[in-house]
Amino acid sequence: MSDLPPPVSDLPVLKLLNIESAYGPIKAIRGISLQVRRGEIAAVLGSNGAGKTTILKTISGIIDPRKGAIEFKGQDITAQDPSHIVQQGLSHVPEGREVFPLLSVRDNLLMGAYTRSDRDGVARDIETVYGYFPILRERATQDAGLLSGGQQQMLAISRALMANPDLILLDEPSLGLSPKLTKEIFEIVVRINRERGTTILLVEQNANMALNASDYGYVLENGRIVMEDTCARLREKDDIKEFYLGLKEEGVRSERRWKKKKTWR
């Protein structure tokens, strides 16, 4: 594995422009604009109900936005059919994995490749994902429903990779996993980005993991982006340290900061 930084280009592979999505009367996201550059890992951080899943569902066409536009590789994909969006090279690993429990691990992987006709490429990519997650090779013929939560997360990421995507949307890969397993999964996510050049947009409550793994980050609160920066800079911001990383500084000053109304920037 190379330690070289990924070839991040300034070209945005994904652009959201003023996206608004709602569930009936509930506005879940309110004017989201963000960009993901080709080759980078971008993260959206936010707590429960902030609107993270809604952003990803809107990008992949599961929810149609009320307002705004989404561009993928320079093409408008706003409110297009999810299957069409997958075919354009965008794969979504949903919250809670959603593997097919009664299909074998291998058949789950093949489902991820259903849009492809290059059988040799599919066989090669199965070997590649078995390389990332050897347990999936061991369990290849077992029903996916029998895998542990962490193994199902590995399978869900692998299934997304089987479409050979340019961009993967990852919804809370750490959900329900031990810190050790979370760390392992994030290490593989970074490897996938570095080795294959796959661009990744992930959403997370686990700010620590997400900020360490990602290049650029957005902070989401109540359906709005309240801060964005490189992850290196976000990690140094006092508000992020206090509210997301739980690193409160000692002393009176931080007590005051803690008490005062939260103000961003």
Confirm or reject binding of residue 174 to ligand ATP (CB under 6 A). no
Closer residue to ligand ATP in complex, CB, 49/134:
49
- Distance CA(39)–CA(11), nearest Å, equals 9
49 binds, among Mg ion, ligand ATP, none (CB under 5 to 8 A by kind): ligand ATP
3-class SS of residue 143: strand
Closer residue to ligand ATP in complex, CB, 13/28:
28
Count of residues in contact with ligand ATP, rule CB under 6 A: 13
Q: 234 near 241, Cβ under 8 Å?
A: no
Question: Which stretch in 44-52, 112-120, 148-156, 187-195 sits in contact with ligand ATP by CB under 6 A?
Answer: 44-52
173 binds, among Mg ion, ligand ATP, none (CB under 5 to 8 A by kind): none
Residue with tokens 């620590």: 208
Confirm or reject binding of residue 54 to Mg ion (CB under 5 A). no
Q: Strand ranges (DSSP E) for the chain?
A: 12-23, 26-37, 41-45, 67-72, 75-76, 90-93, 167-171, 199-204, 216-221, 224-230
Phi then psi for residue 125, to 5 deg, are: -70, -30
Question: Binder to ligand ATP among 53, 151, 153, 199 (CB under 6 A)?
Answer: 53
Confirm or reject binding of residue 48 to ligand ATP (CB under 6 A). yes
Question: Binder to ligand ATP among 33, 115, 128, 205 (CB under 6 A)?
Answer: 205
Q: 34 near 214, Cβ under 8 Å?
A: no
Phi then psi for residue 119, to 5 deg, are: -60, -35
- Distance CA(196)–CA(183), nearest Å, equals 20
Q: Site mask, Mg ion, residues 107-126, x = CB under 5 A? A: --------------------
Q: Which of residues 81-100 bind ligand ATP (CB under 6 A)?
A: 95
Interface with Mg ion by CB under 5 A: which residues? 52-53, 95
